Structure 1
Amino acid sequence: MAVPMSVEAGAPVAVIGAGIMGSAMARNLVAAGFTTRVWDRSASATAPLADAGVVVEATAREAVADAAVVITMLSTADVLDAVMFDSGTVDAFADGAVWAQMGTIGVPATLRTRDRLAATRPAVRFVDAPVSGSKGPAEQGQLLILASGPHAAAKPLRPIFDVLGRRTVWLGEAGRGSQMKVVVNAYMSILIEGVAETMALADRFDIGHEELADAIEGGPLDAPIADAKLHKMDRGDFAPEFPLEWALKDIDLAIDSAGDDVPPLLAALSRQWHTAVAAGHGREDISAALLALR
């Protein structure tokens, strides 16, 4: 039986993927005193992390070697497969390590990843732990972590998750975290599209955006993320915190997970956002949903 490894005993943490979320995680971990390694296929993404004290590795295999915890924050299931399995990265995991898969890849892909790892590296514990939150919460260590997997993995992950998030919810066996994530992101996306369409309707009635905000704020219809995106849209600030193309990916993952009985509002939202991404707004913030209505 593999001996569990511990970051508290000085074993490194590896972060695979240094985009908006992964880079924020790596910065917070090294600032908290953890030996932190990172790999990303883009050198421009990892160079600033080296200045912050993160060890930048040339390959993902080198990053995970001897790491007690490996965090993956990659964009899609195909990228995850290519980096972790096709390139042999899982073969470099230490026995007793914990793999925290924190990117959003959907339920079927999560279960395939769990089963593929179990077949090839049974001594590595797999935790499905997608997060709710965007750039700001990631940088502030205020993510909501939706964790699922073996109970034995909770203890070695606790000090890591305490740095990365404001709260960790354990939901049962691996896959339950990804189920909750697609549900939570569906809710969030519907809210933000609602804000965009409400603002477009207000414009037609010549109702000012601040008037609209004043009518909603502090009442039963108020929601923090809706309020934040309303003001972001009002400023015309579409700098990416959570890019629209990522939000669309999550909506399509929710639709794929729903089977034959696709929720009609999500189906309509997917069509609307595919149009927005095709118009060139995919790399902009999710608040750029407003631009597709103009």
Structure 2
Amino acid sequence: MTTTVSFIGLGVMGYPMAGHLAKAGYQVRVWNRTSSKAEQWAGEYQGTACKTIAEAVQGSEFVMTCVGADKDLVEVFQGDDGIIAKAPEGAILIDHTTASAGIAECLSAAAAERNQAFIDAPVSGGQQGAENGKLTVMCGGPETAFTKAKPVMDNYGRAVTLMGPVGSGQKTKMVNQIAIAGLVQGLSEALHFAEQAGMDVEKVVDVISKGAAQSWQMENRSGTMIAGEFNHGFAVDWMRKDLGFCLDEARKINASLPVTALVDQFYADVQSMGGNRWDTSSLIQRLRKFR
């Protein structure tokens, strides 16, 4: 029998992720707040565009979500017409949204009342990773549910790992974003210094990328940073949302994140420059403006 999978939220990440499931032969039902996006998806892949969440999740063994933030999760999961109320008992609910650990714990408790399992499973790898089916998926939830769900997530994840109980996936994603924030600021300052010194910046990058300074950000973003091109990748608005989760959680657990807090304010400067939708590597533009 064909496994029925629902996918709620067809943004730049969810759209290709749901597509990989359809290509793998699952019976996929999709729902999106903007219905035309769901219809577009159904025209591109073999699957069904649904008009309501209830229609999308009815009889599904797995329900995936990838929406905006905590408030969007409350909207799609809770209430009389939400996922928890309308998905069958025994369903495994997998959330790929980057959100707070607290909302994951709340939704898990609500799902358990209907004998449903909840896995918080934020992803890293960006739009390119989603399109290529090469995402890193960080999961929190019960091991039995994860074991059943992993083969499904493997269709768009190159590394799908259970990190611990519910909330652990979101906390791992926070660690990821904290590390990226510091790396991008460091790379921005390095490139800015080379520019101000009148050096051949591309040649500098070519040399140092073969040593200890090498990073994913350097390999994949230094060229566009040098060129001042930022209309791609992970938006500054999204990064500030994520760093907000990091800083909130840090206050709860008494963790000190001075660099993260500073970089968050630097991103606020980028927003004030009109760079809300620029890639996160646009931190270098702030240095160029204020030099």
Residue range with higher mean Cα deviation, 250-259 or 107-116: 107-116
Corresponding residue for residue 83 of structure 1? 76
Corresponding residue for residue 61 of structure 1? 54
Residues 1:37 and 2:29 are matched in the alignment:
yes
User: Which residue, out of 185, 190, 193, partners 1:193?
Assistant: 185
Corresponding residue for residue 271 of structure 1? 265
Corresponding residue for residue 174 of structure 2? 182
Task: For 1:98, give the aligned amino acid.
Answer: I
The Cα of 1:112 is off from its aligned counterpart by 1.9
The Cα of 1:261 is off from its aligned counterpart by 4.5
CA distance in 1, matches of 2:34, 2:278: 20
CA distance in 1, matches of 2:275, 2:201: 22
Counting aligned pairs with the same residue, the percent is 27
Using structure 2 for the length normalisation, give the TM-score.
Answer: 0.92
Root mean square deviation, CA, Å: 1.7
The Cα of 1:89 is off from its aligned counterpart by 2.8
Query: For 1:281, what is the secondary structure of its paired residue?
Result: coil
CA distance in 1, matches of 2:69, 2:191: 32
The Cα of 1:256 is off from its aligned counterpart by 0.5
Corresponding residue for residue 129 of structure 1? 121
Residues 1:103 and 2:106 are matched in the alignment:
no
Stretches of structure 2 lacking an aligned partner (at least 5 in a row): none
The Cα of 1:291 is off from its aligned counterpart by 2.3
1:221-278 deviations in Å (ceiling 9; x for gaps): 1012332111222233322321111111111111100015441101101111112123
1:3-56 deviations in Å (ceiling 9; x for gaps): xxxxxx313211111111111101111111111121111235334312222321
Residues 1:290 and 2:284 are matched in the alignment:
yes
Corresponding residue for residue 247 of structure 1? 239
Correspondence list, 1:218-233, <5 A = 218-233=210-225
Residue range with higher mean Cα deviation, 178-187 or 237-246: 237-246
| Contact 2:133/2:158 (8 A) holds in 1 | yes
| Contact 2:224/2:230 (8 A) holds in 1 | yes
The Cα of 1:142 is off from its aligned counterpart by 0.7
Residues 1:115 and 2:109 are matched in the alignment:
yes
Query: For 2:37, what is the secondary structure of its paired residue?
Result: helix
Rate the CA distance shift 1:56–1:218 in 2: closer, same or farther, 3 A. same
Corresponding residue for residue 217 of structure 1? 209
CA distance in 2, matches of 1:200, 1:83: 44
CA distance in 1, matches of 2:92, 2:224: 38
Task: For 2:56, give the aligned amino acid.
Answer: A
Task: For 2:96, give the aligned amino acid.
Answer: M
Query: For 2:164, what is the secondary structure of its paired residue?
Result: coil
Segments ≥4 residues shifted beyond 6 Å: none
Using structure 1 for the length normalisation, give the TM-score.
Answer: 0.91
| Contact 1:195/1:229 (8 A) holds in 2 | no
Task: For 1:12, give the aligned amino acid.
Answer: T
Stretches of structure 1 lacking an aligned partner (at least 5 in a row): 1-8
CA distance in 2, matches of 1:278, 1:124: 43
Residue range with higher mean Cα deviation, 36-45 or 163-172: 36-45
Corresponding residue for residue 50 of structure 1? 42
CA distance in 1, matches of 2:199, 2:182: 22
Rate the CA distance shift 1:70–1:285 in 2: closer, same or farther, 3 A. same
CA distance in 2, matches of 1:172, 1:18: 27
Query: For 1:24, what is the secondary structure of its paired residue?
Result: helix
Task: For 1:96, give the aligned amino acid.
Answer: G
Residue range with higher mean Cα deviation, 203-212 or 182-191: 203-212
CA distance in 1, matches of 2:98, 2:19: 20
Correspondence list, 1:1-12, <5 A = 9-12=1-4
Query: For 1:229, what is the secondary structure of its paired residue?
Result: helix
Equivalent pairs, count: 284
